[in-house]
Structures are given as C-alpha cells and as structure tokens.
Amino acid sequence: MKFFVDTAEIEPIRELAATGLLDGVTTNPSLIAKSGRDFMEVTREICGIVDGPVSAEVVALDHATMMKEAEVLRKIADNVCIKVPLTVDGLKTCKALTGEGTMVNVTLCFSSNQALLAAKAGASFISPFVGRHDDNGFDGMDLIEDIRLIYDNYNFATEILVASVRHVTHVLQAAKIGADVMTAPPKVIHDLFKHVLTDKGIEGFLADWAKTGQSIL
C-alpha cells in the first residue's frame, strides 16, 4: 500500500520523505489555509521534495473554470495531481484531464456508487473519506470493502486512496482490505512506528550495553 501524507506543512513532508516511505502528498484548501502560505508557492515546494503525486485541488464549481484552474496547476510540476470534487462538473473535468494524460484525484467520496462513477470517468485516484463516514454513524471501512469489490469486478485502474484517516487502525484495516493508497496526517504515520514492546526492548538493550562499558565509535 502506498503512503501519502495529508498536509501542506513542509518540514513534516521533508522528514517523512527522508525515511523513503513516502509515496506522495495530498493537500486541500483547508490545509493550505492552515499553512498560511501562498498556494502556488507551497505546492511547488512540495513537488520538489517528493517524486510521487502531489494533489492540488481546484476551487471552482463549474467545469469550464475547473479546467482553467487545472491548466494553471498542472504547470507547477509534472507530478501535480489535480484534485476535483465528486460532482457532475468535477467528473466532466476528470474525464477531460485524464484524457489528456493528467493525473486526477476525485475527492469527497462517501458512497460506492460515487466511486463507480469516478472510475468510469477515468479517475487516477478516488478518495473515500473514512473518518467523516464514521462521524456520521457509518463504518468507513465497509465503504472501502465495497469499492474494492466493485473495482476488482471490472478491473478498473482507479486507485483507492483512503482519506480522512484518523488513527493507525484505519491504516491497518485499509491494508487488510487491499486499498491501493492511504493518506494520513503526519502524526498518524509516526504513530505506526510506535509499540510499547519496541520501546521496552530498546531500553533493555541499552541498559545491557552500558554494563559492558564498550563503545562502537
């Protein structure tokens, strides 16, 4: 499963990219606003840090203006992935852009029917929001299972990008289901490293090493 980080903050992206585990980045207008930086500038900088897809979202709601915004965004770098909402105009834009060879991430997916439409429109990625689904009394992972089944039934090339990931259990469940990608805040990715027995093991090894009085360097 590919790991994307969901942030517009540069330092966490650099740190995760240095591990070699980061496959891409997702941003949205809310994350850009939180960063307090210029949209174009921060997107360009992110694209220079990671080789994989960097999702940059259009803000227009009509197809014609979405296409104009996409034209500006995709000139930032070759690895820009245009992010569009799951609306009629969003999918029209998706179809047009993917037909031109541009990566498209269709976002704000909350049903398997919506995911089916996005795949038929040629989406590179579909972003079902599991955390927000959970917030509204549904099981977000049931949605991922349904989408996986539908996509496998018809051999759709669209990658399932699990979004709105809140905790490490979401990551584990997505991987067990067979999602192609997950995107999570930096904290969730760092939490994947943590285990109390790992910490205790390191503590014990260091204590025993200190008793030897030796040094590697």
Q: Which residues are catalytic?
A: 83
Query: In whole angstroms, what is the distance from residue 156 CA to residue 141 CA?
Result: 19
Residues constituting the chain: 217
Give Cβ neighbours of residue 200 (< 8 Å, ≥ 6 apart).
none
70, 98 contact by CB (below 8 A): no
C-alpha distances (whole Å) from 171 to each of 46, 79, 159 are 23, 24, 16
